[in-house]
Structure 1
Amino acid sequence: MTLPEFFGCTFIAFGTPFAMFIFTIANDSIRIIILIAAAFFWLLSLLISSLLWFAVVPLREYLWFGVTFSVLFQEGFRYIVYRILRYTEHGLQLVTDNPRIIENKHILAYVSGLGFGVMSGMFALVNLLADIAGPATMGLTGGSEVFMLISSAQALAMILLHTFWSVIFFNAFDTKNYFHIVYVVCTHLFVSLITLLYVQEQYTAILLPTYILTLVTAAMAFKAAGGSKTSLTHFIKCQ
């Protein structure tokens, strides 16, 4: 059962992001480069937050401290990615054969957000996936047998949220919508902090608000990207 569980949890967490990559990014080299660069910046945010956690010895035992500053550094590097992409737009226009990537600025936000999300999901899940590959696990360290399914679903939500957050975040700075900037930071902080409830195995208290926020954030990102009821209805009819 360990191998089917490994592949099942992997596809739950990364199946949708992989499909998004194949259908929207893989055919454009510039998008691939942006995605990899965004993933690298997420790694830098993790490195800096880890250095801070290591340096502040008295607060090492408090997980909320590490989580809070990790979120703040991630959002700081999201802003750095935003500034870099806006600064290099002219150069990207010269090297790309696809003008839509410049004309539609939301594409840059979407791609960089997916890069953030995939790297975040990999770090959250890769060690757990390695553990369930064998020889046998029914809940890690004596925990609930649904722990891996919950973790995979949570990783998927975080990947999607990072994608939506970047679309909202980039557009918020373009339009000076400070409410949306605060929304992104606060919801990111909230979703990250409630994962501390894993210790009490409060899985409903983690997944339910996370997926409600995912749906709300998806709707906000859709609207920020210029979507409307008319465009959504037209898209559904075309399908």
Structure 2
Amino acid sequence: MGTLLTISCYIFTFSPSFCIFCRFIAHDPVRIILFFLGSFFWLVSILFSSLIWLLLSQILPKPQSFFLAISTSILIQESSRIAYFLLLKAAQSGLNKITKQGQISVAPGVSDLQNSRHMLGLVCGLGMGVISALFLTMNAFAAFSGPGTIGMPEALLKSTVDVNRAGKYLPAFYSASALLLSCFHVCWTIMIWDSCHRFGRMPTAYLPGFAALITHFAVAYLDS
């Protein structure tokens, strides 16, 4: 029963991401690379966030260090999106230099960044969203499958979170949270990249990026 529950949770969580991947990414090798590169950028941002949290936990009391670490992690994640955009923009410039006029680019998905930045934002944001959803759920889903799971939070092991908050619907809540998180990362990446592309050209270019940052903070603190 636990195994069936775990499989069901994974299917519920990652079905939308799988459909998007099959529809927009799987047919293009360049997009597949960009998808996994997005996951790599998110992992690097979480690595730096973890180091900062470890440092803050040694200096500040736990509540203050926790919320400060969350804020720092959000800023680092959004900075990684900007860094990813700048990397693709630099790759676009290099590919345009080696591609002759009228010739098909060796990597059309990258060299056409100006015209397909929203699609590339979807591809790269989905990579970030899938890996973040996996990090959010894998320990909890492992606990649902049976006892003896290493790395579970103490509250879950003692069923305190289950009893006081979600009850029998805890697996569904975890799955829904991870599903929404993957979708949020797609939206945040598209919004940040749109602001980066239009920065300096339009007076309102910062609005999508600012909205992405505010909603990221809101989601993080509501979930905490």
* TM-score interval, normalised by the smaller of the two chains: 0.7 to 0.9
- State the 4+ residue runs in structure 1 displaced beyond 6 angstroms: none
Q: Is 1:173 aligned to residue 196 of structure 2?
A: yes
Deviation at 1:58, TM superposition (A): 2.8
Aligned to 2:14: 14
Deviation at 1:70, TM superposition (A): 1.1
Deviation at 1:19, TM superposition (A): 1.1
Mapped to 2, the partners of 1:38 and 1:85 lie a distance apart of: 11
- Alignment partner of 1:95: what SS? coil
Deviation at 1:79, TM superposition (A): 0.6
Mapped to 1, the partners of 2:216 and 2:207 lie a distance apart of: 14
Deviation at 1:59, TM superposition (A): 3.1
Mapped to 2, the partners of 1:172 and 1:183 lie a distance apart of: 10
Q: How many residues align?
A: 195
Q: Which of 111, 129, 133 pairs up with 1:117?
A: 129
Equivalences for residues 85-104 of structure 1 within 5 A: 85-91=88-94, 94-96=105-107, 102=113, 103-104=115-116
Deviation at 1:173, TM superposition (A): 1.7
Query: Identical aligned pairs, as a percentage?
Result: 29
Change (3 A) 1:71 1:86: same
Aligned to 2:75: 72
Q: State the structure with more CA Rg.
A: 2
When the two structures are superposed, what TM-score results if normalisation uses the length of structure 1?
Answer: 0.75
Mapped to 2, the partners of 1:124 and 1:170 lie a distance apart of: 25
Q: Is 1:195 aligned to residue 223 of structure 2?
A: yes
Whether contact under 8 Å (2:133, 2:178) holds in the other structure is yes
Aligned to 2:59: 58
Mapped to 2, the partners of 1:98 and 1:51 lie a distance apart of: 34
What are the ranges of 5 or more consecutive residues in structure 1 without an aligned counterpart?
197-239
Letter in 2 for 1:13: T
- Alignment partner of 1:85: what SS? helix
Mapped to 1, the partners of 2:13 and 2:198 lie a distance apart of: 33
- RMSD after superposition: 2.2
What are the ranges of 5 or more consecutive residues in structure 2 without an aligned counterpart?
97-104, 149-155, 200-204
